[in-house]
A and B are shown apart, each in its own frame.
Chain A
């Protein structure tokens, strides 16, 4: 016979408090912990953080433009959201899947209040993603090269996306008793996001209903030119969450007046925010884009440093020091009147079509150089090429490949005026499918194979020695008509023979 375990003496147990609200909060706490510690969520968060914290990155990352960085926080959430949706859905379906329905049905807390608890339980996960977003953005903002201004609404979009997904997971759990529905919905959400987000038409309602509004333009824009309906979109996501939450509570039997009113109000808010997103950008933003594109001088701050005047949109003026380093270095390698030629470096944007618009800039007037709204890494080499062209030929117009000494000279200057310029120059073939092309902000500086080979040979020589020869032969190297063979000879290397490809290239 089994040994009998004597029941412990039991003090009279207090009756249930009947405080359903407190029970909802207690259940929400339990479910919140389980949701955050769900293996799927943990794995997704770990993967997300790993990507964020992975050492390395591009040199451009040292110069973040904060009005772009805020949007970059959203993309990871597009992948994280479906995972949270599935985990929240599994939590709601737990009782059904594990057969505790029959037992739990007679417990005091009504199903709709359990649904409320599940809805509340997603908030800590949303908060965690908000903290990650805050950390991600703050890390960018604290970089010495950071410029611009982030938007709170853009930063809220990622966490709100998690909220929408989690609440949809709860709703699906209450509408459909199968754990297969949420994964299917997650796939549909991902597919829909990429299809809708790919719609480039600003104001398109497809973009408005998409979880994130992607603007994948060529270069950053000043923040006041973005014209993104970030605030309306954040409100749209919030309204969608509230609508789905109200739907889940209604389906669970919580057909109170307050819930019905909330459902109707949030539906109205969803429709209104979709419409309002479609109305962006405002006339004021359009006008500002027009001015910034066609007459940037009207809105720029300028600063004179020696013979160079730098004009930038106000948010970008911290980069003037960086531009000046490149310009000064290029000038120091030059000689003659070109070394002190007066130049204006002007920042330009192509903002007429907003952040997703085509990025095409027209050449500046002679004596003016263009600098873009991106900096770091190859952008430095590109700007240095622009400065070199300004010093050597004095204008930005593209007339074809540089098939003479001036091409060799400009590229040499660009390489020497840029941190790690040689490495970046050698990578030009990877980036543009054509070695020897430096994509300067307005028009590329392009070398033929012959001139490229001369530059490569120069890079194999001691840099200081080549610099000295450049300075000594500056007048001849920078003169129109000096041949590549002559440049090579002046600089102490040989030039290869002209190839058939070289002969086919149009020369400037």
Chain B
């Protein structure tokens, strides 16, 4: 049973900025996250990972401030407290291949300062159970499939029952079945927690997120509900026999007709928009054509 997302902000950021290799990777980002799953969408290089790293306290911002569950990570004490309350699944999580899944999670638990051995082991078993890896917890990670490893990484992020979960493209490289499994796990994780999910998959966002943030070129382009993002494309998606010159993006669908997103000509045959249409439009006028090609 799902709980309705909370409305009290758990993570607040104001004016976050970070330059990386001469570009503004994150540029004046202000956010207020609440309980539930928030999707972070954006093209490659939009600054999603950088923003996630800042919020996960892995990288300090050049400017701006943020709090995680009331802790201010700009102070040593606050950073430690914030880290104690968050779980992070990085974009390319590494593994210790000669550890078993259990040993790896136990190791992470120690680094999270869960010091009582029995409690820690119980927690390692709990999170491995939660991600469906109870049966393989004694297996060396090198012998696990890619999907299983990704679940180990999610289990590592869940250790200690963090109230803020930062997931950076957790479903990349997974097959559809594994992605489905992951969606379930993330949906479960979002109950009673604040989950920030960075992804390229608009379907994931549509299915999981009560709220969507779209980023491009380091800035927030959209911040609202999934329905609101879809609504951005209301009256701006139409079908035609040929690709329309006024379309910002267009592609031939399975029916043989073109689906166009942009500013429709008069008399165009409008169709119902999807969240992806809204996302494309939210990215603005310089949306890369390849996004929809």
Contacts and interface: CB of A to CB of B under 8 A. Distances in A.
Contacts of A500: none
B112 A100 contact: no
A22 B84 CA distance: 15
A7 B189 CA distance: 10
A104 B161 contact: no
Contact of B57 (A5, A22, A103, A106): A106
A337 interface: no
Interface string A86-128: 0000000011001111111111111000100000000000000
Interface stretch (B94-102, B209-217, B236-244, B279-287): B94-102
Contact of B84 (A5, A16, A101, A110): A16
A365 interface: no
A336 interface: no
A18 interface: yes
A54 interface: no
Interface stretch (B10-18, B122-130, B249-257, B264-272): B122-130
Contacts of A58: none
Contacts of B86: 106
Contacts of B184: 2, 4
B116 A23 contact: no
Interface in B166-211: 177-178, 180-181, 184, 188
Given A16-B113, A103-B156, A108-B84, A98 B106 contact: no
Contact of A23 (B90, B95, B110): B110
Query: For B80, B107, B117, which residue has the most chain A Cβ atoms within 10 angstroms?
Result: B107
A26 B117 CA distance: 8
B94 A102 contact: yes
Contacts of B108: 103-104, 107
Contacts of B107: 27, 30
Interface string B108-142: 10111111110110010010011010000000000
Contacts, number: 114
A237 to B, nearest CB: 30
Contact of A10 (B89, B156, B161, B181): B161
A266 to B, nearest CB: 27
B94 A17 contact: no
Nearest to B96: A98
A227 B108 CA distance: 51
B96 A100 contact: yes
Given A7-B188, A100-B93, A103-B156, A22 B115 contact: yes
**Do most interface residues of chain A lie in helix, strand or loop, or is the interface mixed?**
loop
Interface residues of A, number: 38
B58 to A, nearest CB: 5
B88 A108 contact: no
Contacts of A12: 161
B13 to A, nearest CB: 16
Query: For B84, B96, B115, B156, which residue has the most chain A Cβ atoms within 10 angstroms?
Result: B115
A13 B115 contact: no
B115 A26 contact: yes
B275 interface: no
Contacts of A306: none
A28 B119 CA distance: 18
Contacts of B103: 30
B110 A109 contact: yes
Contacts of A298: none
B180 A18 contact: no
A1 B180 contact: yes
A15 B84 contact: yes
Contacts of A5: 132
B61 interface: no
A19 B113 contact: yes
Interface in B57-105: 57-58, 80, 83-84, 86, 88-90, 92-97, 103
A7 B130 CA distance: 5
B111 A98 contact: no
B222 to A, nearest CB: 27
B83 A17 contact: no
Interface of B: 53, 56-58, 80, 83-84, 86, 88-90, 92-97, 103, 106-108, 110-117, 119-120, 123, 126, 129-130, 132, 153, 156, 160-161, 177-178, 180-181, 184, 188
6 contacts: A2-B178, A2-B184, A26-B120, A102-B90, A102-B92, A109-B112
Given A100-B94, A107-B108, 4 more contacts: A12-B161, A27-B107, A94-B96, A106-B56
